[in-house]
Chains A and B, each alone.
Chain A
Amino acid sequence: MTDMTPEAARDALADAARTSDRLRARARWASTKLAVTGIGMGLLTLAVGLVRSDLVGFAVFAAWGVLIAATAWWERRRTAHLPGTQQRTSRYWAASFALYAVAIACGVARPEGDAGFWVPAAVVVALPMVVGAVRERRA
């Protein structure tokens, strides 16, 4: 049996909490990924609505593909993972993609280059992932 004073017990608990916090902080990478891809989706939405050039449009979609591949590569290099990350983050992805589909469906009927529609639409599309990024920072 181990003798332990109340002070030693408090110190042990405090040290355990600090150690746990350090590793959990390293595991909160989903916040960064959601923020980056959320902003990327917003910019993609903006480009779809406002860019007239086919070449520029192709470049925008190519850049989006590179962003997704880069974030997937970055995620594979994370060295700690929180439980339930995929379940929590998938709903933010689903919400942003659903809003993107709605924006595109509504936007086809709009006049060309209608910034009054596409700028707010881009913000709305990005919003679920940005909210998710904030919430994952506190996970």
Chain B
Amino acid sequence: MTPAEPAPAPAAPDAAGLTHPRRDLDELLTHAVRFSVVAALSGVLKAEFGAVRDSVEVTTPMLSKQVALLEKAGYVEVEKGRVGRRPCTWISLSPEGSAAYARHVAALRAIAGLDH
């Protein structure tokens, strides 16, 4: 899986000299469903709510709740639109969300030992 942006450089040691990659994990994206939602959106321009729900394999209320949290954090953009004549909700990843996803993936790869 390749993030859309180049993997960011690992965080420099803080004052205490702590450099473990878990420090680069995004708190919001450590939630499995939110991470899956962002992962799904990272590969597309935009997707309809039902398509995201079916890809992530969660219920509608669960997805609504997680998308609301991601939207509040500025990671996703939600737009009302139509599929044919049927009203629908389109979801897309924001630039901030894309960057957060790339950082989180880089941290996961470092933890998983995939970058050695």
Residue numbers of A with Cβ under 8 A of B are: 1-7, 9-10, 12-13, 15-17, 19-24, 26-27, 73, 76-85
Contacts and interface: CB of A to CB of B under 8 A. Distances in A.
Interface stretch (B41-49, B62-70, B71-79): B41-49
Contact of A2 (B30, B83, B112): B30
Interface in B92-116: 105, 108-109, 111-114
Contacts of A81: 44-47
Contacts of A26: 47, 51, 55
A22 B50 CA distance: 13
A65 to B, nearest CB: 20
Nearest to A81: B45
Nearest to A26: B51
B39 A16 contact: yes
A118 to B, nearest CB: 37
B7 interface: no
Nearest to B112: A9
28 contacts: A1-B25, A2-B25, A2-B27, A3-B22, A4-B22, A6-B113, A9-B109, A10-B112, A13-B108, A13-B114, A15-B39, A19-B36, A19-B39, A19-B56, A20-B39, A23-B43, A23-B55, A76-B83, A76-B84, A79-B48, A79-B51, A79-B83, A80-B44, A81-B46, A81-B47, A82-B43, A82-B45, A83-B45
Interface of B: 1, 22-23, 25, 27, 30, 32, 35-36, 39-48, 50-52, 54-56, 83-84, 88, 105, 108-109, 111-114
A1 B22 contact: yes
B66 to A, nearest CB: 13
Nearest to B101: A16
A27 B84 CA distance: 16
A7 B113 CA distance: 10
Q: Which 6 residue pairs are nearest across A and B when measured between Cβ atoms?
A: A16-B39, A79-B48, A9-B112, A79-B51, A80-B47, A9-B111
Contact of A4 (B39, B45, B52, B111): B111
A83 to B, nearest CB: 4
